Amino acid sequence: MPTQTHEIAPAQRMENVRYAIRDMAVLADGLTKQGHKILPLHVGDPLSFDFVTPPHMIEAVSKAMRDGKNGYAPSHGISEAIEAIRGEAARKSIQNAQSIFVTQGVGEAVDLCLTVLLNPGENVLTPRPDYPLYSAVLAKLDIPLNLYDLNEDDAWQPDIEDIKKKITPKTRGIVLINPNNPTGALYSRAMLESIADLARKHNLIVFADEIYDKLILDPGEKHVAFASVAPDVPCITFGGISKNYLAPGWRIGWGIATGESAAIESYVEAVHKLLRSRLSASQPMQWAIKPALDGPQDHLPGVLAKMRSRRDLTVEWCKSTPRVSCVSPLGAFYAFPRLDIPEGDDVFCKELLIQKHVLTVHGSGFGQRPGTNHFRIVFLPKEEILSKAYASIAEFMQERFK
């Protein structure tokens, strides 16, 4: 019988898909198989460390399964979850919700919303550095990147002047990640108001990724929802239970569509069409949304205390280590230190992993501004693990850059 030997080639657009976080993990897996113990500072999964999902959420999902809630859910999500998200939106001062929908993580929400928005030749502004999900989805859609800078000299706030330069007649929207991954920045109300003014002027929709909105590390700081600042501007606010409620593997996120009905109605209906075409997010997991949002929040003080302590340890290490500097993160659990080194940060992180078995992610994997070198640190591990990792990084740098 003839054998099929003709190569099945992937689409050329796949060359533009990068996901440095998991790519580095592949190299680490090989070292693990050789018997090396890896110090992981690369993936934002709290459950890989000493954090646990709140028990009342686990019980809610377990009860839903026992009660037979195992079939398809409504395409938008179960009503109990939708109303809980509506209540959470109100607590964030988000009014004028035109639609609320539940998705399989924020990743699906992003994919759906960008797919519905963009025609060939159009673009959406995404931050630089970015979270690689956005560039991956845009590559899948054959949409060219249109990157605006985050200003490291201004605590990683969006560079408004750069945004103005990047808006073209083909620009349809802007992505805001606040608190930010990978920098840990928290955006000011004044900054959000400036972005809202640009969105109004150029008829842009705003995608406000606020998945870390409860993980604010300094007591004096407060997260401000973009949609609360600009209720008239078309906006999709992304949220979920992965980070705030320590359930990343459950893959439950949501979108809240706001803005004047006349401006956003046809877009929202197109989102609904795609929601219907993929049936639904996991029904049992959706039963955790109401207990998460409306139930006890007593896990948060302990979570924030741990993260704050580990953030402070990280920032102090950056201050005391030659060739390293860092803007102190105000939200989430990431730091994005700058490196003053005579090589690319991709080479640096790869060799650090091979030689010292410390796993970080190179800043170029997040599309950083050309001419700069950074690496992302996830500071979720316990202090003793972080201290060991940081000592190894310092030793590596001393040996490599004498």
For position 377, what pLDDT does the model report?
97
Residue count of the chain: 402
For position 163, what pLDDT does the model report?
98
Q: Is the pLDDT of residue 18 over 70?
A: no
How many CA atoms are closer than 13 Å to the CA of 127, on its beta-carbon side?
29
For position 196, what pLDDT does the model report?
98
For position 6, what pLDDT does the model report?
74
Report the distance separating Cα 188 and Cα 186, nearest Å: 7
Distance of CA 233 to the CA centre of its chain: 22
Residue-wise pLDDT for 308-341, tens only, equals 999 999 999 999 999 999 999 999 999 999 999 9
Return the ∠ at Cα 134 (arms to 218 and 189), rounded to 5°.
35
For position 193, what pLDDT does the model report?
98
Q: Is the pLDDT of residue 79 over 90?
A: yes
Q: How far is CA 135 from CA 31, 127, 257, 310, 365, in A?
A: 28, 10, 22, 29, 11
Q: Let me know: does 105 contact 111? Beta carbons within 8 Å.
A: no
Report the distance separating Cα 343 and Cα 322, nearest Å: 15
Q: Is the pLDDT of residue 192 over 80?
A: yes
What mean pLDDT do residues 373-397 have?
Answer: 97
Report the distance separating Cα 402 and Cα 54, nearest Å: 48
Per-residue confidence band for 302, with pLDDT thresholds at 50, 70 and 90: very high
For position 19, what pLDDT does the model report?
65
User: Domains of the chain by range and CATH?
Assistant: 12-52+298-400 (3.90.1150.10), 69-294 (3.40.640.10)
For position 25, what pLDDT does the model report?
80
Q: What is the mean pLDDT of the chain?
A: 95
Report the distance separating Cα 40 and Cα 380, nearest Å: 9
Amino acid, res. 220: G
Report the distance separating Cα 246 and Cα 371, nearest Å: 36
What is the share, in percent, of the chain residues with pLDDT greater than 70?
98
Q: Let me know: does 367 contact 21? Beta carbons within 8 Å.
A: no
For position 9, what pLDDT does the model report?
79
Residue-wise pLDDT for 43-64, tens only, equals 899 999 999 999 999 999 999 9
What is the share, in percent, of the chain residues with pLDDT greater than 90?
91
- Cβ neighbors of 178 (< 8 A, separation 6 or more) are 185, 186, 187, 192, 208, 209, 210, 213, 223, 226, 331
Report the distance separating Cα 237 and Cα 96, nearest Å: 12
Q: Nearest Cα to 211, choosing from 197, 221, 225?
A: 225
CB count, 10 Å around CB of 50? 11
Q: Pick left, alpha or beta for residue 116 (phi over 0 → left; psi -120 to 50 → alpha; otherwise beta).
A: alpha
**CA dihedral (20, 21, 26, 30) positive or negative:** positive
Q: Nearest Cα to 112, choosing from 82, 143, 85, 137?
A: 137
Q: Let me know: does 47 contact 242? Beta carbons within 8 Å.
A: no
The whole-model pTM stands at 0.95
If DSSP codes are grouped into helix, strand and coil, which group holds residue 260? Answer: coil
Report the distance separating Cα 267 and Cα 143, nearest Å: 18
